[in-house]
């Protein structure tokens, strides 16, 4: 089983990065940029949460079961990512793509950097 405390820490750091960047966008570029920024960060941390919930391979599982679980969780994450981006771009008419994508990328960077240290 995955260390759930490590997973929680990673997702909480992603949430913190999304909030900090959204606040920075609010101060620098205004409300629409802040909303776009937080939406991008939310896509990042929500899809990490989806992956964490779907990645279920009990301790001692054979390699095939672990790999199958990973691929399944990653497929859910990719589908969810596509759906959330589609939702933002179709429903939020004032979206600002740069803050959206930038904060999404920052939350992904947190995820990958954290995996090195966890």
The pTM assigned to this predicted structure is: 0.89
* Ordered per-residue pLDDT tens for the chain, 118 residues: 456 788 899 999 999 999 999 999 999 999 999 999 999 999 999 999 999 898 876 677 788 888 888 899 999 999 999 999 999 999 999 999 999 999 999 999 998 898 787 6
Q: Which residues of 38-47 are buried (b: 16+ CB within 10 A; e: fewer)?
A: bbbbbbbbbb
> 11: Cβ–Cβ under 8 A, 6 or more apart, which residues?
45, 48, 49, 52
Q: By 3-state DSSP, what share of the chain in percent is helix, strand and coil, each rounded to 5?
A: 85, 0, 15
Q: What is the DSSP letter of 96?
A: -
Please give the C-alpha separations between residue 107 and each of 1, 20, 41, 67, in angstroms, as whole numbers.
24, 11, 6, 24
């Amino acid at each position: 089983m995955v260390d759930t405390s490590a997973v929680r820490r990673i997702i909480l750091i992603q949430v913190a990065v999304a909030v900090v960047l959204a606040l920075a966008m609010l101060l620098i570029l205004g409300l629409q940029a802040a909303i776009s920024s937080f939406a991008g960060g939310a896509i990042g941390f929500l899809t990490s949460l989806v992956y964490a919930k779907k990645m279920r391979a009990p301790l001692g599982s054979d390699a095939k079961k672990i790999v199958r679980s990973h691929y399944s969780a990653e497929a859910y994450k990719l589908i969810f990512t596509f759906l959330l981006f589609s939702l933002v771009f179709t429903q939020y008419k004032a979206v600002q793509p740069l803050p959206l994508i930038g904060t999404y990328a920052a939350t992904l960077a947190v995820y990958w950097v954290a995996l090195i240290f966890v």
